[in-house]
Amino acid sequence: MRETRCLDLFAGSGGLGFEALSRYARQVTLIERDRGAADQLRRNVALLGSSAAEVIETDAVSWLQGPARPFDLVFLDPPFRKDLLPTVCTLLEQNGWLADGALIYLEREKEAEPPSLPVTWHLIKDKQAGQVCYQLYQRETHEDVA
């Protein structure tokens, strides 16, 4: 996890992003639309005294349509029943948000249809706990394609 650039796209409480910080991620970007949750994330970052974390209060889909910078690790835990994963996964891949070999952690409801994912993402782990499915994918590197 050292020196990893992480994106927590639907940050909520920030649990995934803060865990990455605790494991020495170089940078953690927390995207959260809800003002109250974003304010709490900012307070938590201030309490940690970390310059490696940034909180951006905005809609994830809109943010992904802006200028991209590549991330090594992306956490996707969107609100359930909103059908955001297909759009978000496409934007991450097409708009240059993923570094070669990036890891993508994806969480969804067990009952929900699996989203259509980019062909460059390869499943590494697939687990369930209660009503939640979670998968870990790795994006191909240029060497994989060649």
Give CA–CA dist 95/134, Å, rounded.
Answer: 24
Give per-residue pLDDT as tens, 35-51.
999 999 999 999 999 89
pLDDT tens, position by position, 36-95: 999 999 999 999 998 999 999 999 999 999 999 999 999 999 988 888 999 999 999 999
CA distance 126 to 112: 15
Higher pLDDT, 41 or 146: 41
pTM of the prediction? 0.91
Domain boundaries along the sequence of the chain: 5-139
The C-alpha angle 17, 19, 20, rounded to 5 degrees, equals 65
- Give the CATH class of 5-139: alpha beta
